[in-house]
Chain A
Amino acid sequence: MMAFLKKYEGLWLFVHSPAAIIAAAVAMVIIFGAVFASGIALVDPYDLASFSLFDGLLPPVWQEGANPKYLLGTDDQGRDMISSILYGARVSLIIGLSALAIAAFLGVGLGLAAGYYGGRFDIIVMRIADVQLALPAILTALLIDGIARGLLPQSIQQDLRVAVLTLAIAMSLWVNFARTARASTFVEMNKEYVHAAIMMGQRPSRVMFVHILPNVLGPLLVIMTVDLASAILLEATLSFLGIGLPADSPSLGTLIRIGMQFLLSGEWWILWIPTIVLVALVVSINILGDFLRDIFNPRLR
């Protein structure tokens, strides 16, 4: 038993961390709901025929005047809140994950190469990263969005919204990966197993990806979870600012922006329920990220 626990220390820590378990459960529920949204949801919020204005502004079931069919009520168009949220979470997650994948691919590749080759290549990559740092995430995203508006004709702009948004978020996140991968690679480059591989005459790509990469994955994994949270927040923020996704294919951020119209009236659920779901998702991911950080940095325990 002891040997087993020692071997799977991460699992042991997980089982004994209520916060991590709850966070994982919440994240799983939201992700599950998002993945199977079309199966679970009562209505398709993109399909105007599947809901009607007559059901508009119904409160959640525990309040008076509710329709038990709509557990969390409906918005002004008569859309079921649960359905909107499931589809919204799906959009948020798709954009967040794709942005993360692009950022990680670009950042880790550049960071590894910068750390491995050093010299001029390293300086160029890091200076670009410096410039990127001087333009914070939201700014970069807004900028790319603005450029896309200027460059692309009106007609295809709507179709490309998701792609532009994803790219904008990815561009603002790659620096994190690049800097972390590079710093870790520098540390690994001074280790003798890397010298051994270079001495043998192994190809640089093999040294980087077969030898160094597995050793720098830990911190990158932490960045990945934290940045997934940032990506989702960023998307929500951009959508909230009205620059992200339009109202006909709402993400969680768009739902909150729509709900803002009801801040002063009585229909609190239209604003606060999507907000709670968004915050719960991001908090869960951040808790899991923190947990991973603790695993990879045992001294902080």
Chain B
Amino acid sequence: MVYFILKRIVQSVFVMAAVAFLAFSLFRFVGDPVTQMTGVETSVEDQERLRDELGLNDPFVYQFVRFTHEMVLGDFGFSYRTRQPVANMIADRIPATLELGVVALIISLMVGVPAGVYTALNSRGVMTQTILMTTLVGVSIPTFVIGIMLIFIFGVQLGWLPTFGRGGTVHIGNWQSSLFTIDGWRALLLPAITLGVYQLTLTMRLVRAEMMEVMRSDYIRFGMARGVPMRSLYYKHALKNTLVPVITIVGLQFGGVIAFSIVTESVFQWPGLGLLFLESIRFVDIPVMGVYLVVIAFFFVLVNLVVDLLYVAIDPRLRIRDVHDGLPEKI
């Protein structure tokens, strides 16, 4: 078990290193950092001096190691566009995106898991067919269209909810939160639903497929054959076995939540990381792009490590359902 977790940590470090390398390559090769940092009037000598100060003439590997070292220490460099430390810019934006993402994920799990269980257990009902058709349409509507529709209905036509911004926020230390005011929740509701809908449909379909698979298994049939109460078979035996693969996918979905938060934040002008990233792309603000990548990958890796721990807690066999583990030996 310790080996399993260690292996996962090593893998995570590998992923982080690869992403850091990507960010570094961006910084180093996409555009010239020196011309970006200096104005037109800067002399060639000054540029050279700056180049030397920044260590851009050092060997490549050395530069990468220094880059990574600075990242680990929290020194993320300066934005080309605003000339501010990237670390501060990112830190300001993290709460907005995390609150949005977590609330969206909770919505998707709270609705998706029960709906998946229901449709798996009543696979031929009218209700099930309706839900399935709705979710199929749900995955087919782009997130931004859902956002526009919600704005149109609840913001423009009914005028119930605000259509942009975070509403009233409260500072808790450095954390700017919209979870403690009614106003904040009202502002959060539409973006969170927008972001949650797509994840919800995915979760529901996954839970349904896994649950149906489990319900066909021998141990459920054996449970029926020896008269174990149906409630226990459904919600104790089957659901627990269903959750093992579902947890993995939810971990992977976190990446999706972050990605689609870019779109959601753009539609609702939500001042989070995604909006920052979009701006940085528009202005080719390479340092911000690179750091955004690293931060996102870090969250992703962190969430997946937690998922692995949950996994160990649930499955005594440490069964790895990941496609590239636990496969039988070749031939």
Contact = CB atoms under 8 A, between A and B. Distances in A.
Contacts of B216: 299
Contacts of B11: 127, 130
Contacts of B282: 242-243
Contacts of B30: 146-147, 150-151
Given A130-B15, A131-B15, A237-B263, A146 B284 contact: yes
A142 B262 contact: yes
A122 B293 contact: no
A136 B256 contact: yes
Chain B interface size range: 35 or more
A135 B31 CA distance: 22
B212 A300 contact: yes
Mostly, the A contact residues are helix
Contacts of A241: 144, 262-263, 266, 278
A237 B284 contact: no
A236 B144 CA distance: 9
B140 A229 contact: yes
B289 interface: yes
Interface in B256-306: 256, 258-260, 262-263, 266, 277-278, 280-282, 284, 286, 289, 293, 296-297, 300-301
Interface stretch (A46-54, A210-218, A281-289): A281-289
Given A130-B15, A290-B136, A149 B281 contact: yes
B106 interface: no
A264 B255 CA distance: 33
Contacts of A142: 262, 277-278, 281
A182 B323 contact: yes
Contact of B281 (A135, A145, A285, A299): A145
B18 to A, nearest CB: 5
- Sort chain A's interface into a size bin: 35 or more
Contact of B145 (A147, A243, A256): A256
Interface in B134-149: 136-137, 139-145, 148
A283 B137 contact: yes
Interface string A262-301: 0110000001000100110011011100100000000110
Interface of B: 11, 14-15, 18-19, 22, 26, 29-31, 133, 136-137, 139-145, 148, 151-152, 156, 209, 212, 216, 252, 255-256, 258-260, 262-263, 266, 277-278, 280-282, 284, 286, 289, 293, 296-297, 300-301, 323-324, 327-328, 330-331
28 contacts: A122-B324, A130-B15, A131-B19, A133-B255, A134-B19, A134-B301, A135-B297, A136-B259, A139-B259, A139-B262, A142-B262, A142-B277, A146-B281, A150-B31, A150-B286, A189-B330, A229-B139, A233-B140, A237-B144, A241-B262, A243-B281, A253-B142, A256-B148, A275-B145, A278-B145, A286-B136, A287-B136, A290-B136
Given A146-B280, A243-B281, A279-B137, 10 more contacts: A19-B133, A122-B324, A133-B252, A134-B15, A134-B255, A143-B289, A241-B263, A241-B278, A263-B148, A283-B136
Interface of A: 19, 118, 122, 126-127, 130-131, 133-139, 142-143, 145-147, 149-151, 179, 182-183, 186, 189-190, 195, 229, 233, 236-237, 240-243, 253, 256, 260, 263-264, 271, 275, 278-279, 282-283, 285-287, 290, 299-300
9 nearest A-B pairs in the assembled complex, by CB-CB distance = A136-B259, A150-B30, A283-B140, A282-B140, A146-B281, A138-B259, A183-B323, A136-B255, A150-B31
